[in-house]
Amino acid sequence: MPDAAEGRPALAESTGIGARVTALRSARGLSLSELARRAGIGKATLSGLEAGTRNPTLETLYAVTSALGLPLTALVAAPGPIRGSAAEMALLRVFDDGPVTYELYRMHLPAGATQTSPAHHAGVTEHVTVFAGVLRSGPLDRPLRAGPGEHVEWPADVPHGYEAEGPADVEAALLIRYPHPPSP
Amino acid sequence: MPDAAEGRPALAESTGIGARVTALRSARGLSLSELARRAGIGKATLSGLEAGTRNPTLETLYAVTSALGLPLTALVAAPGPIRGSAAEMALLRVFDDGPVTYELYRMHLPAGATQTSPAHHAGVTEHVTVFAGVLRSGPLDRPLRAGPGEHVEWPADVPHGYEAEGPADVEAALLIRYPHPPSP
DNA sequence: CCGCGGCGTTCCGTTTACGGAACGGTGCGA
DNA sequence: TCGCACCGTTCCGTAAACGGAACGCCGCGG
């Protein structure tokens, strides 16, 4: 195995989690030693975490956020926009409702832009509510159209696409529904 | 308010992250082996992660979410409400804007309820915008009053409190501003 | 019938994140 | 000036998370 084990990339650094811990800690006027004490972890652990030279475990992250009085979400970066070639989608929430998983996105599509997406797994459906602009979307061979306030849906187990018709950008909410495969 | 040094031993299993990974994976029709392959991690690692018998590192979690095409936030539970003795506050977002950290909460205070909070560090201020009800809040010895649509703020480096005046519950947005101490 | 490929789990040696104890640096009161 | 308390970093032995290679199981095709 190629041992580039010199200056380790340090994932915690690239995600900004280390810097965020430092910010949240100093915002409360806590020293590193004091936070480590309250969190019940070693100073070495917290030092390495903030510096980004370690790869912390979930347990460590929980200990830190608990000591700060915050949920774990406070440490992970806000859901960044996912840039397609044309569309910009930001994941708002994930719901795990028993046998079905939903993912709710906010979609922004510049006027005239077209975005295609490969087929998902069988049974997956997409549901769009348009807030602004006119959206043409659905299976590539049989697209649907929706204006402001309207709602469309289609099976997403075939290649599909999104297109902003007309002169205005499209703002919409996209809900992807993933039914779980039969349990047996 | 986020203060108590109450460190709760939160284990990897109680967070439901394992179950969430299983849900998101099966939602996409992926086998455990397949996801492990795409994520570039061992099957043993993913198996233990989903079963909750391991304490995954940040790197592992990141590899899994990336392979699922999701941000890391998709794995951590939605910010849960923080129950004070009376108030219920849910952290909506954390902003790290250079030398200042902001925490944005949604606050719900039942009619007649009173909630106090110990002093924060010097320089910290709280800003409240009331949506419904009448809120009496601020330093305990010199409280302020705000009705629907109004906004109040006060230095939070002294003990302060919140009280829902009148017959209606209070719904409000609370922004806590933590200026970072001057760099050494 | 047997073989083959894929599944999820378990075993095991290696890697590494962990906390405690050191370290040097700094501010402050005696 | 000296202690002394605390800071954040580094060292180091131990615990455990890691990936690879087994394992047993099942469905399917020859």
Contact present, A134 and A170 (Cβ < 8 Å): yes
Does residue B109 reach within 7 angstroms of strand D, measured from its CB? no
Per DSSP, the three-state class of B8 is: coil
Does residue B161 lie in a domain region?
yes
Domain identity same for A100 and A144: yes
Does residue A12 lie in a domain region?
no
CA gap B51, B67 in Å, rounded: 19
Residue B47: its H or E element:
helix B43-51
Does residue A63 reach within 7 angstroms of strand C, measured from its CB? yes
Residues contacting A98, CB < 8 A, separation 6+: none
CA gap B158, B25 in Å, rounded: 48
Contact present, A179 and A99 (Cβ < 8 Å): yes
Cβ–Cβ gap B62/A15 under 8 Å? yes
Domain identity same for B96 and B67: no
Q: What is the CATH number of the domain that holds A130?
A: 2.60.120.10
Q: pTM here?
A: 0.83
Pairing of strands B134-139, B144-146: antiparallel
Report pLDDT digits (tens) over B156-181.
Answer: 999 999 999 989 999 999 999 998 86
The runs of H, that is alpha helices, within A52-148 are 58-68
Burial, B83: exposed, middle or buried (Cβ in 10 Å; 0-12, 13-18, 19+)? exposed
Distances (CA, A) of B172 to A37, B85, B110, B143, B169: 34, 17, 12, 16, 10
pLDDT tier, B87 (very low <50, low <70, confident <90, very high otherwise): confident
Report pLDDT digits (tens) over A4-46.
Answer: 333 344 565 566 899 999 999 999 989 999 999 999 999 999 9
* Contact residues, chain B, for A122 at CB < 8 Å: 29
Residue B45 belongs to what domain range?
17-74
Residue of A13, A65, A72 to mutate for B, most B C-beta atoms under 10 A: A72
Does residue A71 reach within 7 angstroms of strand C, measured from its CB? no
Residue with tokens 């460190």, as numbered in its chain: B7
pLDDT of residue B98: 74
Domain identity same for A99 and A143: yes
